[in-house]
Chain A
Amino acid sequence: MSTPPDAIVVRDLRKSYGDHEAVRGIDFAVARGEVFGLLGPNGAGKTTTVEVLEGYRERDGGDVAVLGHDPASRPRALRERVGIVLQSSGMYRFLSVREALAHWASLYPHPRGVDEVVALCGLQDKADARIRTLSGGQARRLDLALALVGDPELIFLDEPTTGFDPAARRLAWEAVRELRGLGKTVLLTTHYLDEAQQLCDRVAIVKDGRILATGPPAELGVGAATRAQVRWRDADGRPQEREVEDPTALVHELTAAALARGGTVAELTVTRPSLEDVYLQLTAEAPAERDEQAVARV
């Protein structure tokens, strides 16, 4: 028995635009049924990597396989099995949502039902509306719906929730979890730590065209780094600091105590570390840890 081959294999991928090296030798593999995240700041090379895998860009070097195909030749057999949500893409604005999905469905050999996809993406109220009347968030959900209606095995999501309000983000997360439940493979890019933590089985942290680390979010410190830091001065004016998963209870405690004694919580702040903080942590700590392990093994 051999295990099924990986859905995506990337070896030493390189891509430059003129003098700018956007991707400088990236390696990773995505197993079938896995939700894999490329996490990194803008300009890290995430979109370039994904667009090479989608067949939009030709790589300068390295080997790439997507569902066993080389995406550079854009075979139709591959396009029928892949759903793509680009970072931004236009749509025929004078069609209705339902018409658009029905047309897209007709381009694939084994599509899902239009109504089913409309419901999955929360577009029931807008199914018969012209696309030009959709809000930004609704248009983004239509992007997802168009990518899913062909019932693809592998879905690319390039920053699927950027610009979403919290409710829309939660809905999109639900949709991704549902895809995982159906056994689909998902490759997503994001610059939100919490999104990577919530959705991804594994993430690769990308910066300046290279992968800094790959692994489950919690193991990479992404989980710990999303904890909130609560800082304040106590009744005696001494600075206090605590790290918690959810600051709600702590803040309530502090403010309740302060109100009870008729005072205030001085200099109360609640912060979460930025992606930059995580990178600094990772880039600063990871090599040192590796050295220690190397020493330990010796």
Chain B
Amino acid sequence: MSDVALAWRQYRLERRLFWRNPSAAFFGFVFPLLLLGLLGAIFASSQSDLDRVVPYVAATSIMATTFSALAMSMTVLREQGVLKRMRGTPLPSGGYLVALGASAVTNAVLQVAVVVVAGKLVFGVGWPVDWLELVVFTAAGVACLASLGVAMAHAIPNVDAAPAFSNAVFLPVVAISGIVYGGDAGSNGVLSDLARALPLVHLADGLHGAMVTGSSLADNAGGLAVIVLWLVFGAILAVRGFSWEQKRS
């Protein structure tokens, strides 16, 4: 059996498992939709605000389904010894990790699709104006935040600490990125500098360009560069710190 066929089997298993695990399904699907409903209700009076809210929720969804979900699931799989068990089977290690990552990517893509459709049908945002830009930013954002999520898992010492660790990053980043992206923090403050050093606000800006304004890839090249830099950083940390076994602490 080829490596691809084995990885595909594992991917299908991961998809089945995703829907059976309540906490995974919550962070993957319910949380972003909750955020969309909440922010949509708050900004319902202004279409231009809604036009900004929807891409921001799409970016946050990508972070929840890749960064948070992988930080938690990789920690659980490692600490429970599932990674070690899988490593003893004929499934190639690389194929296994690809299947895990691909499952997270599937959730991210489904989420972006749901947010785009909800934006059109519920919140009056038009269909995306630049599909290529949407694909490029979604792909870069998914790869970046997935690699950072795996890297994050290396820093989490045990299963009990996993939600605290991942939320300690996720919630502040979502908050400051939202404020800066929304234009409420001025352009020169420390908060603004911090948010603009992180990938999420650039992902939201890129999606906003793709979904609403049509500002081109070239216009958002700077932001894309920040995302790619974080992708490289995350990928290096994800690979270097990787362990198939429980932490001995």
Contact = CB atoms under 8 A, between A and B. Distances in A.
B6 A92 contact: no
B240 interface: no
Nearest to B24: A94
Contacts of A146: 85
Interface in A83-108: 84, 86, 88-92, 94-95, 103-104, 106-108
Contacts, number: 62
B82 A107 contact: no
Interface in B1-43: 1, 6, 9, 13, 16-17, 20-21
B90 A90 contact: no
A89 B84 contact: yes
B77 interface: yes
B87 A56 contact: yes
A86 B88 contact: yes
A90 B88 contact: no
B92 interface: yes
Given A103-B9, A109-B1, A92 B82 contact: yes
B85 A89 contact: yes
Chain A interface secondary structure, helix, strand, loop or mixed?
loop
Interface in B41-86: 77, 79-82, 84-85
Given A94-B17, A103-B9, A54 B88 contact: yes
B21 A94 contact: yes
B186 to A, nearest CB: 47
B92 A76 contact: yes
Nearest to B87: A56
Given A92-B17, A103-B13, A108 B84 contact: no
Nearest to A143: B85
Of B82, B90, B244, most A-chain CB atoms within 10 Å:
B90
B97 interface: no
B89 interface: yes
Interface of B: 1, 6, 9, 13, 16-17, 20-21, 77, 79-82, 84-85, 87-92, 244-245
25 contacts: A54-B88, A76-B90, A79-B89, A82-B88, A84-B85, A84-B88, A88-B81, A89-B80, A89-B81, A89-B85, A90-B79, A91-B82, A91-B85, A92-B13, A94-B17, A94-B21, A95-B13, A103-B9, A103-B13, A104-B89, A107-B89, A107-B91, A108-B89, A150-B89, A150-B90
